[in-house]
Amino acid sequence: MSDPLDLAIGASLETRFVLSPNASLSVRGAWAFMILVSLATLGTASWCAAHGFWPVLPFAGLELAAVGWALAVSLRRNRYREVVSFERERVRIEFGVVGQGAAARVELPRGWTRTWIERDAERRHAPTRLLLGCSGQQVQIGRCLTDEEREVLVRRFGQLLKVRFGRDDDRAAHSEMTLGEG
Amino acid sequence: MASHDHAHDDHAHGHDDHHHGPEKGIMRWIKTTNHKDLGTLYLIFSFTMFFIGGLMSLVIRAELWHPGLQFVDPEFFNQMTTLHALVMIFGGVMPGFTGLANWMVPMMVGASDMALPRVNNWGFWILPFAFTLLLSTLFMPGGGPAGGWTMYPPLVLQTGEGFPFLIFAIHLMGISSITGAINVVVTVLNLRAPGMTLLKMPLFCWTWLITAYLLIATMPVLAGAVTMLLTDKYFATSFFTASGGGDPVMFQHIFWFFGHPEVYILILPAFGVVSTIIPTFARKTLFGYDSMVYATASIAFLSFIVWAHHMFTVGMPLAGELFFMFSTMLIAVPTGVKVFNWIATMWRGSMTFETPMLFAIAFVFLFSIGGFSGLMLAIAPVDFQYHDTYFVVAHFHYVLVPGAVFSIIAAVYYWIPKWTGVMYNEFWGKVHFWLSAIFINVTFFPQHFSGLAGMQRRVPDYAVQFVDFNMISTIGAFVFFIAQFIFIFNMIACMARKGQKASDRVWEGAHGLEWTVPSPAPYHTFEDPPRIGDAELAAVHDSGAGYSDHKH
Ligand code: HEM
Ligand SMILES: [Cu+2]
């Protein structure tokens, strides 16, 4: 199996990652599911109510409200993004929601930034934590990823940071690139 | 140098609370929102309930060792049958499957956790309260509920002071099931990794999705039904009270409208487990994946229109008897499709028989026996004879014990090396299997005969001609119970990390995301040249192209 990193290493050193949670549900899909459960749930509850057994109805209503809430919360969370931009001199990390722009922004000097993964020594099953940090300031990113995905990402970040720090010829090679705000 | 304009966003994954260390000791378990922790808690809870419910069944079997009354009074005997069923169904099987879902669904779909981790925590912690309440009724004036798990009025209204606690406990169990179901739904629908379309999902996710649908559709009916019992008893309503113009038979209709889908809630996840295990040890892909999905969906649909097969004897119009008889028989078709697919999967496979596979094969055999007795019961005219006899008891124990329970055991054997990193002891696994498989039949097969000959269920005494069958049953039950300790110790050894280390891919034939520690490109990270403004972010979130080739 070819390591996908080999492909990636040739990519630009001025690069940007957009991390997003898995989001396989569309708004239409959510509605379709909601309608499908409502039909069954409200159908039976109304049948009961029509026969005088109305106490089923409020339970059905409460429950469907919970289902609707869960779907809505899920759809809203799908818009969450973390954007990590490796720029010439800095690493910019932004947290935000699609359509609302970045809500929080951290900038670290690229040359001094480290990346690593922290594991919980006592809790085998606790998720790992992917950190970018520089002199006492740490930023955790990629919570919406799985452990394996964080492993891949930390290696890629490591490459980008190391190359940037160590090899001046690379910097020269890329210096003619137009940089957003460099 | 670093600017950090902080605007907290409650629905975003906060990024600034990395200083909080993990909780220690018991608080870690109480506060955990991690799907693996909760899966473990659910499974431990489930096996605790299996143990308590098992002890109750031993009380029942001891009493039935001989006709006449030996150990307990009839009232207590009936409390045991009632609580045994409630504990096993709502405390054992359902939380067991929820535990498996917690562990496996996120891993199978490639998600980092369940979609609603905090709801997940509440859903679990409701359960210990619910069952403490339920079991505490045993110590209240009037004792626990004794009218059967089906809670038919007017009998159940005679319950003593424990009655409102019974109802409240049922409500809590319902809430817990609903939170579990909703969590599975949003996880499966929303948190699938890019490239994993619905029809590429492992069957366990599919069967759980459909189970969750059934739960959502039917739980309000149960909640409403038990609430009406409560108001009938304490608030002078007469939903089911004949003297006030109500109809007790309508309770049965309403209960079984919940109850029959419920029995499929207890078995569909088992189908998913078996459909995962058999291909692994047959070293073939599952035969007829799509037909499995459609069969599961049709079983779920049919389960809504067969409920009155539990009430053939209440006096329905002939048309009703016929409708429910034929609709019930129809269920045998999709069920048959599944059994056929499992057998076809094994056909000419290079099979090996490790413990999970043994349990899965026993499932196919013995569940089918339960299906056959179900078909017999579905024949309305003969059900007049079988109804409320030990034949029914034999039927549902075949589908529930070597069915649902064996599948949970198989799943734990199958995945525990993955969960703990330690292989269980195969020798003791096999011993456990053979003792279980033999003695479950020793316990329940004779009940077919005593039932056909007329022995009634839920009665502590019986006619002398049934003695032999009952003694065999009781012996079987005790040995089966004791044999389960082999399993418990084997699993505790894994959890204590005593045993051989397991490799990443424990079973050579296993497929699926949970067995690979995948090193493909980060699935939903997206790398591209700079110069993308915030406004454009919407365009890049679906970077799914090309992912699908990493899997399957
Ligand atoms: C081919 C499929 C099945 C058919 C045709 C079938 C049919 C029936 C019928 C007709 C009865 C009522 C018997 C009576 O009370 O006189 C019954 C009872 C029962 N069945 Fe099934 N069944 C099937 C599968 C299942 C499954 C998969 C489960 C659970 C996993 C299950 C669990 C039960 C239980 C718990 C009862 C007894 C409820 C009670 O009265 O306490 N059955 N079945
Ligand atoms: Cu049924």
Pick from B281, B133, B303: nearest CA to B211: B303
Chain B contacts of A80, Cβ < 8 Å?
11-13
pLDDT in tens, chain B (552 residues): 333 333 333 333 334 444 445 566 788 889 888 898 999 999 999 999 999 999 999 999 999 999 999 999 999 999 999 999 999 999 999 999 999 999 999 988 888 899 999 999 999 999 999 999 999 999 999 999 999 999 999 999 999 999 999 999 999 999 999 999 999 999 999 998 877 889 888 999 999 999 999 999 999 999 999 999 999 999 999 999 999 999 999 999 999 999 999 999 999 999 999 999 999 999 988 999 999 999 999 999 999 999 999 999 999 999 999 999 999 999 999 999 999 999 999 999 999 999 999 999 999 999 999 999 999 999 999 999 999 999 999 999 999 999 999 999 999 999 998 888 889 999 999 999 999 999 999 999 999 999 999 999 999 999 999 999 999 999 999 999 999 999 999 999 988 888 888 776 777 777 766 665 432 233 344 443 222 233 323 222 333 333 333 322
Which residues lie closer than 8 Å to A44 by C-beta, 6 or more apart? A56, A60, B217, B218, B220, B221, B257, B304
> Whole-angstrom Cα distance, residue B73 to residue B343?
47
In a domain, residue A49? The reply is no
Summarize pLDDT for B223-282 with one digit per residue, the tens. 999 999 999 999 999 999 999 999 999 999 999 999 999 999 999 999 999 999 999 999
Which ligand 1 atom sits closest to the C-alpha of B372?
A: 1
Catalytic member of B171, B338, B387, B448: B338
In a domain, residue A121? The reply is yes
Cβ–Cβ contact A2 with B under 8 A: no
The CATH number of residue A166's host domain is: 2.30.29
In a domain, residue B3? The reply is no
Interchain contact, B526 vs A40, CB within 8 Å:
no
Cβ–Cβ contact A60 with B under 8 A: yes
Ligand 2 centre and the CA of A174: distance in Å?
70
In a domain, residue B22? The reply is no
CB atoms under 10 Å from CB of A181, counted, come to 10
In a domain, residue A108? The reply is yes
Chain B contacts of A37, Cβ < 8 Å?
213, 216-217
Q: Please state the length of chain B.
A: 552
Q: Which residue in chain A is spatially nearest to B37 when comparing CA positions?
A: A125
Structure tokens at B371: 């299906």
Q: What is the ipTM of this complex?
A: 0.86
Specify whether B519 is catalytic.
no
Count of domains for chain A: 1
In a domain, residue A149? The reply is yes
Domain housing B195? 27-550
Interchain contact, A18 vs B531, CB within 8 Å:
no
In a domain, residue A122? The reply is yes
Any ligand 1 atom below 6 A from CB of B153:
no
Q: Are A152 and B520 a contacting pair, CB within 8 Å?
A: yes
Task: Return the residue in A79, A125, A145 with the most chain B beta carbons within 10 A, the one to mutate for interface testing.
Answer: A125
Specify whether B309 is catalytic.
yes
The CATH number of residue B131's host domain is: 1.20.210.10
Q: Which residues surround ligand 2, an ion (CB under 5 A)?
A: B 260
Cβ–Cβ contact A154 with B under 8 A: no
In a domain, residue A139? The reply is yes
In a domain, residue A124? The reply is yes
The torsion angles phi and psi of A92, rounded to 5 degrees, stand at -110, 130
Specify whether B84 is catalytic.
yes
Cβ–Cβ contact A95 with B under 8 A: yes
Domain housing A150? 84-181
Query: Residue A117 burial (CB < 10 Å; 0-12/13-18/19+)?
Result: middle
In a domain, residue B2? The reply is no
In a domain, residue A57? The reply is no
Count of domains for chain B: 1
CA angle B157, B159, B163 (to 5 degrees): 90
